[in-house]
Amino acid sequence: MAVNEASAVQSRRTLISVISFFAVFIALMTIALFNAPTMGGPRVMASVDTYLAEVRRSGLAFLGVVALLAIVLGLTVARMVYREWPNPKRRTNLIMGYLFLSPYLLITLTFTVGVVLAALYISFNSYDIFTPPQWAGLANYARAFQEKDFLQALHNVLWYSLIVVPIQTTLAILLAVLLNTPVRFRQFFRTVFYAPSVTSSVVITLIFMWFYLRTGYANFFISNFFGIFGVEWQNINWLGDPRGLIQLIVQAFGGDIPSGQWYLRGPSIAWMAIMFQNIFTTAPTFMIMFLAALQDVNPTLYEAASIDGANGWHKFWKITLPLLRPIILLVVVLGTIGTLQIFDQVYLATKGGPLGTSLTPVYIIYREALGAEGPIQMGYASALAFLLAVLIFFFTFLQRRFISQETQLY
């Protein structure tokens, strides 16, 4: 009798684990079918049959990869269910747990994981979304390093991070230290300092585009400033000026750098104008993070230092900065990742110009994917996106490597 009961439980567990295996498999394959890299024109979407025919024609390799993943995941789930099922309490916990997680899991599997797999597949194809993808191998990746645009975009964002990240981090620390001194209305000042960071980058960019006009405030302030010393200032069109920083220095000594050697010219005036604006909006964000960290610092440390006769300068260098070290690293990495992905400002203010000196990887990806200038090239755009991702992962890895427990996020 007991044996019979045990075997009945056994077979029920087996049955349920098999069912859950197929449920996971089918769910993942359905998600994959939606993500299969085909494009629904009216012709393809006419009926389920035409859609599936299109998937067979173009997305089979992708579906194969997903099927393998689905089998592995399904087996894991089946094994888990097999173990948990006999105990009613653990069974409810299992079901409730995944019910609570289901909205998150469904959306992420579709719009993040499925989509990244699809992007990986597309990046090896030449694909204009109207016709099925054509296998292209590594051609898209090779092309990225043969064309000037992407290299120039990398060159630009490298200059961008080199200049923006140190300046904005330093400013953020200084602002935070200033706000952390015993001042009244600290909340008020914090709110005012932070205001440029909460408004949309579009608003800030539009306002700065207006400042940077030939007749704008930027020229006005600088010419007034130079006027004090009696120096004449020639108004410039900030966002349309391709002259590079190094080029200007060389020109001051009478030389010049030809446009063929754009990589030697340094960041252009237009690009540096965008940098200035970006520092303006990001420094307060990071100030908030530093301020939060500073308020966790034990005040007795400073008191002890005061008793030992340390002045404010010593306290800053010997206590504040070492304590802020992990957050400085975090801010540097977050800042670098952010600067690598800059898009809004470029799209609005310069569209990559003048002479490509403000091209960025994300802007090129957008341009190629939507065919803003020339044909739609989803495959090439995806390949660029993955190259950018590799760069970003590299920085994230560095951060993981150097910051241990204190900051887990990102």
Residues in 89-148 at the binding interface with other proteins, rule: CB under 8 A: 90, 92-94, 96-98, 100-101, 103-105, 107-108, 110-116, 118-119, 122, 129
At its nearest, how many Å lie between other proteins and the CB of residue 403? 10
The dihedral formed by the CA atoms of 354, 360, 361 and 366, expressed in degrees to the nearest 10: -70
Query: Rule CB under 8 A: which of 339-358 touch other proteins?
Result: 341, 343-344, 347-348
Q: Minimum Å distance from CB 195 to other proteins? A: 6
Q: How far is the CB of 2 from other proteins (least distance, A)?
A: 28
Burial 365-397 (b: 16+ CB within 10 A, else e): bebbbeeeeeebbbbbbbbbbbbbeebbeebbe
Q: Is 372 in the site for other proteins (CB under 8 A)?
A: no
For 359, how many CA atoms within 13 A lie in the half-sphere containing its CB? 19
192 sits near other proteins (criterion: CB under 8 A): yes
How near is the Cβ of 379 to other proteins at its closest, in Å?
9
- Minimum CB distance to other proteins, residue 266 (Å): 25
- Return the bridge partners of 125, or none: 135
Q: 159: which residues sit within 8 A by CB, 6+ positions away?
A: 266, 267, 271
The region of 73-81, 140-148, 237-245, 268-276 touching other proteins under the rule CB under 8 A is 73-81
Nearest residue (CB) to other proteins, 175 versus 275: 175
Residues 196-215 that bind other proteins (CB under 8 A): 196, 198-204, 206-211, 213-215
Asked if 173 and 328 count as a contact pair (C-beta separation under 8 A), the reply is yes
* Cα-based distances in Å from 326 to 177, 179, 250, 401, 407: 16, 20, 39, 12, 8
How far apart CA 339 and CA 345 sit, in angstroms, is 11
Alpha helices (H) along 36-110: 48-58, 60-84, 88-108
Task: Supply the minimum distance, in Å, between the C-beta of residue 254 and other proteins.
Answer: 31
Establish if 236 lies at the interface with other proteins (CB under 8 A).
Answer: no
Could you give the maximum distance between any two Cα atoms of the chain, in Å?
A: 106
Q: Which of residues 280-339 bind other proteins (CB under 8 A)?
A: 280, 284-285, 288-289, 291-293, 299, 327, 330-331, 334, 337
**CA–CA distance, 389 with 120 (Å, rounded to integer):** 11
**Residue 22 lies near other proteins (rule: CB under 8 A):** no
Residue 138 or 198: the one with the smaller Cβ distance to other proteins is: 198
Q: Of the ranges 7-15, 142-150, 158-166, 177-185, which one interacts with other proteins (CB under 8 A)?
A: 177-185
404 contacts other proteins (rule: CB under 8 A): no
Q: Pick from 204, 172, 115, 222: which is nearest to 328 by CA?
A: 172
Interacting residues with other proteins between 42 and 71 (CB under 8 A): 45
Rounded to whole angstroms, the Cα distance separating 115 from 385 reads 13
Is residue 37 involved in binding other proteins (CB under 8 A)? yes
Indicate whether 274 belongs to the interface with other proteins (CB under 8 A).
Answer: no
Least distance from C-beta 98 to other proteins, angstroms?
Answer: 7
For other proteins, the closer of residues 30 and 251 by Cβ is 30
Q: Which is nearer to other proteins, 4 or 405 (CB)?
A: 405
Q: Which residue, among 273, 275, 265, has the nearest Cα to 338 in the 3D structure?
A: 275
Pick the closest to residue 287 from 199, 194, 184, 408 (CA basis).
Answer: 194
CB of 243 to other proteins, least distance (A): 21
Interatomic CA distance for residues 308 and 302, integer angstroms: 10
